[in-house]
A and B are shown apart, each in its own frame.
Chain A
Amino acid sequence: MKAFNTFLTTELKLSFRGIDMFIFAICMPVIILVLIGIINGNKVAFEGANYTFLEQSFGAISTIAICAGGLMGLPLVLAGYREQKILKRLKVTPISPILLLAVQLIIYMIYSIISLVLIFIVAKLFWNLNIKGNILQFLGAYFLVMLSMFSIGLMVGGIAKNSKSAGSIASILYFPMLIFSGATLPYEVMPGLMQKIVDLLPLTQGIKTLKASVLGLSIDNVIFPIILMILLFVVCSTISIKFFKWE
């Protein structure tokens, strides 16, 4: 526990000293929220809907920080530590790789939660966001999305050859998911065929669950995404621990 706490505080400080997560996980979601708010304001999502466009997008925006941390921050930090031989130095100490992975996981969890609180406050203050569904259900879905995205990141960071390949894999995962899964470009404005394609992205499924919880839609539609995300988490985290490479 001593090692865990010390590593968490130190690595958190180091992460704050680097500016990129502040930009991508803290600022970017707020900017996108504000843009959507300014453009669509309190307009209803579609004719006859009992929720606004912004409310419809809130679930998606809440995942931007998760993507930044899980698909960019996490794999790059881990692969970088391996490439710089910091992991090799740790291998000749009694540390367990699980501790190291857990510390980084929690750091990006903290970023995501800060971002969630921040966008909630902004959306509530300026556009009177109204969560119609069950808030616990929303939080449950949020953590599920977080775990599944982070486990992808752990897997990439844990087994990528070097930070360059981790960077490429991270970009391949990050940008399409961020743009096409509804996190930045609203799913609703996409043409039908495109919706069918992006449905294959795990994040799209996660966002559907979140959206259902914000808007109070029926949970029947979201059993599949939940199973998918749990499965993803189990598979990716098992791979990342089993095939973890120090060097």
Chain B
Amino acid sequence: MKNAIEVKQLTKSFGNHLVLDNINISVKNGEIFGLLGENGAGKSTLIDCILGTKKVDNGTVSLLDMNPIRERKKLFENIGVQFQETKYPDKILVYELCKETSSLYKKSLDYKELLRNFGLYEKMKTPISELSGGQKQKLFIVLALIPNPKVMFLDELTTGLDPKARREVWKALQNLREQGITIFLVSHYMDEVQKLCDKIAILKKGNICFYGTVKEAINQSPCENFEDTYLWYSGEEETNESI
């Protein structure tokens, strides 16, 4: 198995509205893959289709060589997911959610150890609703790590974090890469994408308008830095003309 994630000719519509059009993505084992695009470009829908939380209209998805809908129980022993908005029951404490989460897997990492690594050990008995934004995001990484996953999906993981917390998260992700974990992330921060991602796809109105490395993206555009490059690819026609 070479590719952890393999998406072929994926199409998805809501009613008459085509949300994803002929998407092809392959992510090698151990790679960090970045999915970029404006709000509403179809990023979260694409993640839903890959994970099987939404059915695709056409095309195929294979995760660790498995079908995410047919082989759900087996597959998700090895997948860690952080959705854009991770939800939890009211009044639940940090350790309770961690404990519930680890009980779902045949093999799981020690959540206490993970909480300690992310500086949350002291917060074990705090209601999640009382954590700060950064602490919550870190907790959601911990939750995604509990299954000791081979592949992680992180949807806007660092949104709302202060610069220091973002750096900490980056470091954590780089450590995970060294352990050989494949990471599929969605981000709006170009510095982050540039620093972390081996490969990116830029989604625009349901189409992939760029697929490759950050360096290739910059080289193939008239821009010099990556943020401008991203805007050039993803922007509206008016922006293109002005450049």
Contact = CB atoms under 8 A, between A and B. Distances in A.
* Chain A complexes with chain B: yes
Interface of A: 2-3, 5-7, 10-11, 13-14, 17-18, 81, 84-86, 88-96, 246-247
B76 A94 contact: yes
B92 A10 contact: yes
Contacts of B51: 92
Summarize A's interface: helix, strand, loop or mixed: helix
B87 A13 contact: no
Contacts of B74: 94
Given A92-B153, A93-B76, 15 more contacts: A3-B104, A5-B103, A10-B96, A11-B89, A14-B96, A18-B91, A88-B83, A89-B87, A90-B104, A91-B53, A93-B147, A94-B72, A94-B73, A94-B74, A94-B105
A3 B103 contact: yes
B85 interface: yes
Contacts of B101: 93
B99 interface: yes
B81 interface: yes
B122 interface: no
A228 B100 CA distance: 37
25 contacts: A2-B103, A3-B104, A6-B99, A10-B96, A10-B99, A11-B89, A14-B89, A14-B92, A14-B96, A17-B91, A84-B89, A85-B83, A86-B87, A86-B89, A88-B83, A89-B81, A92-B53, A92-B76, A93-B105, A94-B72, A94-B77, A94-B105, A94-B106, A95-B104, A96-B73
- For A17, A18, A247, the residue with the greatest tally of chain B CB atoms inside 10 Å of its CB is A17
A14 B51 CA distance: 29
Contacts of A6: 99-100, 103
A245 B51 CA distance: 16
B88 interface: yes
B219 interface: no
